[in-house]
């Protein structure tokens, strides 16, 4: 099988779609059914970049743990973000990029093109597209207007154009089928994987890294993601404030993540809780430190409003810590019975279950065991195998 993979999303620091594209790009060439693979971005053939985080994987974890995201990002990524907020430039890019990519791909006589970031161009090749979630449709107020307009132009066309649409979960698969009126056979879910750096660690292995952040193993709750309304951080903070003061001081809430879209009110709530002494906000944290922060927490909290998959849930389970997450969209599917589920809009419910998850040792032991078993099923090798099977099926639909 000859494959062309778009790598537009691979920009440091890797997260979300960028991580997904990177794992495919580095693992697919090793699969026995892939005869050749080429990478494309912005209508040009590209080589797979050697990311700084990969090149420095052997450095000590104590070096620059809190480098700012602006430093980590490439100039290209920063320009892309800035231009994407300018309507005329965003519109021009949305028109130019499909045309340039089509011309490029049509120079090939056969093969499969995979767009891992919602988009496939018009081409004679077999097209496979991944749609990670439908938040643009479900919760448009979470996104800049230019992104909404661009994505609502591209997504329906890509859904109809592709021979097969991939999603990260069965929950998203059902949404995609309904939203774009697709035959169920045209949409397939392939679950994501967990990086091998996430695993349970002894307290002695955690001390050095956690000390850099003023933390001790087992003495904090953790949340990891971009600080934005979609993640329901305001309700998480409100629910945590309702815990007894002794509980909040014993296990403070630690938030990790860069500033996202429309996050001003959330940061105001963060500042108020910090002033009260029971919340720590670490901002963006170097990728090398995250596995230690996960493995060292007493409870991982993730009561998001909506997720296409919810990779932090899987990362926390693989790290051997109990998880609290929401009872909606893909999150129960990812947790598969290993996490305690909450109503994301019900602050009282979140508070009650936070206290239960922090204090009930019987449940905690069961949650850790079940989480490790579930996480063992969520591997990038399984994701790649399912993706190659999807390519094979898509070729048969031509």
Collect all residues with Cβ–Cβ distance below 8 Å to 157 and sequence separation of at least 6. Answer: none
Question: What H or E segment, with its residue span, contains residue 38?
Answer: strand 36-41
Give one DSSP letter per residue of 228-262, joined into a string: SGGGTHHHHHHHHHTS-HHHHHHS-EEEE--B-TT
What would the pLDDT profile of 223-254 be if each residue is shown by its tens digit?
Answer: 999 999 999 999 999 999 999 999 999 999 99
Is the pLDDT reported for residue 79 higher than 60?
no
Query: What was the pLDDT predicted at 70?
Result: 33
pLDDT at position 142 is 87
Task: Report which of residues 95 and 378 the model is more confident about.
Answer: 378
Rounded to whole angstroms, the Cα distance separating 36 from 226 reads: 36
Cα separation of 332 and 336, whole Å?
A: 6
Confidence of residue 181 (pLDDT cuts 50, 70, 90): very high
- Find the helix packing angle between 17-27 and 380-396, rounded to 10°: 80
Residue 43 has pLDDT above 60, yes or no: yes
Rg (CA), the chain: 21
27-55: average pLDDT: 86
Closest CA to 134 of 83, 187, 183: 187
Query: Could you tell me where the DSSP H helices lie in 277-342?
Result: 290-296, 311-318, 331-335
C-alpha triplet 345, 351, 354: angle, nearest 5°: 115
Question: Can you list the positions of beta strands (E) in 47-184?
Answer: 112-115, 126-130, 164-167
User: Token pair for residue 326?
Assistant: 């929401």
pLDDT tens per residue, range 102-144: 888 988 989 999 999 999 999 999 999 999 999 999 999 888 8
> Tell me, what's the pLDDT at 129?
98
Q: What's the rounded Cα separation, in Å, for the pair 123 and 113?
A: 9
- Which of 283, 248, 286 minimizes the C-alpha distance to 267? 283
Looking at residue 53, its pLDDT comes to: 46
- Alpha-helical (H) ranges within 106-217 are 135-138, 145-161, 170-180, 203-211
Report how far residue 246's alpha carbon sits from residue 228's, in angstroms, rounded to the nearest whole number.
28
Q: Hey, which residues does 3 pair with through a beta bridge?
A: 37, 112
Cα–Cα dist 347/135, whole Å: 22
Give the contacts of 346 (CB within 8 A, at least 6 positions apart): none
pTM of the model: 0.89
Q: What percent of the chain has pLDDT over 70?
A: 89
C-alpha to C-alpha distance for 361 and 225, rounded to whole angstroms: 27
- Residue burial 285-312, b: 16+ Cβ < 10 Å; e: rest: bbbbbbbbbbbbbbbbbbbbbbbbbbbb
Indicate whether 66 pLDDT > 60: no
pLDDT at 76 over 70: no
pLDDT of residue 85: 59
Task: State the average pLDDT over residues 207-233.
Answer: 97
- Rounded mean pLDDT of 194-217? 97
DSSP secondary-structure letter at 172? H
User: Does residue 94 contact residue 130 with C-beta atoms inside 8 Å?
Assistant: no
pLDDT at 62: 42
d(CA 89, CA 83): 6
Contact indicator for 380, 387 with CB cutoff of 8 Å: no
Does residue 54 surpass a pLDDT of 50?
Answer: no
Give the residue-averaged pLDDT of 283-296: 95
Find out whether 324 and 303 touch, Cβ atoms under 8 Å.
Answer: yes
Describe the crossing of helices 361-377 and 311-318 by its angle, rounded to 10 degrees. Answer: 110
Distance between CA atoms of residues 330 and 351, nearest Å: 22
Strands 36-41 vs 44-46: parallel, antiparallel or unpaired? antiparallel
The answer on pLDDT for 293 being more than 90 is yes
Neighbours of 268 (CB within 10 A): 11
d(CA 380, CA 282): 28
**Residue-wise pLDDT tens digits, 313-358:** 999 999 999 999 999 999 999 999 999 999 999 999 999 999 999 9
Task: Look at residue 64 in the predicted model and tell me its pLDDT.
Answer: 47
Minimum mean pLDDT among 86-100, 270-284, 345-359, 373-387: which range?
86-100
Mean pLDDT to the nearest integer, 276-296: 96
More confident residue, 101 or 177: 177
Q: Measured between alpha carbons, how far is 256 from 329 in angstroms, rounded to an integer?
A: 23
- Note the pLDDT of residue 98: 76
Take residue 190 and report the two structure tokens written for it. 């392939």
């Amino acid at each position: 099988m000859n494959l062309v993979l778009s790598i537009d999303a691979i920009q440091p620091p890797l997260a979300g779609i960028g991580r997904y594209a990177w794992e495919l790009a580095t693992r697919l060439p090793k699969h026995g059914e892939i005869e050749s693979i080429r990478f494309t971005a912005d209508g040009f053939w590209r080589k797979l970049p050697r990311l700084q985080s990969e090149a420095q994987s052997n450095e000590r974890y104590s070096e620059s743990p809190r480098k700012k995201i602006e430093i980590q990002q490439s100039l290209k990524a920063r320009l892309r973000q800035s231009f994407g907020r300018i309507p005329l430039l965003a519109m021009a890019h949305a028109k130019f990029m499909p045309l340039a990519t089509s011309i490029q791909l049509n120079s090939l006589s056969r093969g499969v093109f995979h767009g891992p970031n919602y988009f496939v161009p018009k081409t004679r090749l077999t097209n496979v597209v991944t749609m990670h979630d439908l938040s643009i449709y479900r919760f448009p107020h979470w996104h800049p207007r230019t992104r909404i307009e661009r994505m609502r132009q591209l997504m329906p066309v890509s859904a109809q154009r592709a021979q097969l649409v991939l999603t990260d979960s069965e929950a998203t698969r059902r949404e995609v089928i309904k939203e774009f009126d697709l035959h169920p056979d045209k949409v397939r879910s392939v679950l994501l994987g967990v990086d091998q750096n996430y695993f349970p660690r002894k307290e002695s292995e955690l001390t050095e890294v956690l000390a850099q952040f003023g933390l001790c193993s087992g003495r904090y709750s953790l949340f990891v993601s971009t600080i934005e309304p979609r993640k329901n951080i305001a309700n998480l903070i409100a629910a945590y404030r309702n815990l007894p003061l002794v509980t909040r001081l014993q296990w403070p809430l630690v938030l990790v993540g860069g500033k996202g879209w429309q996050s001003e009110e959330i940061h105001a709530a963060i500042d108020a809780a910090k002033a009260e002494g029971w919340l720590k906000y670490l901002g963006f944290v170097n990728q090398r430190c995250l596995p230690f922060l996960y493995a060292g927490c007493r409870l991982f909290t993730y009561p998001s409003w909506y997720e296409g998959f919810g990779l932090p849930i899987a990362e926390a389970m693989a790290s051997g810590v109990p998880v609290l997450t929401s009872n909606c969209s893909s999150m129960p599917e990812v947790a598969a019975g290993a996490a305690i589920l909450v109503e994301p809009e019900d602050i009282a419910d979140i508070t009650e279950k936070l206290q239960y998850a922090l204090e009930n040792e019987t449940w905690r032991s069961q949650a850790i065991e079940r989480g490790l078993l579930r996480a063992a099923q969520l591997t990038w090798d399984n994701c790649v195998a399912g993706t190659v099977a999807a390519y094979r099926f898509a070729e048969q639909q031509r």
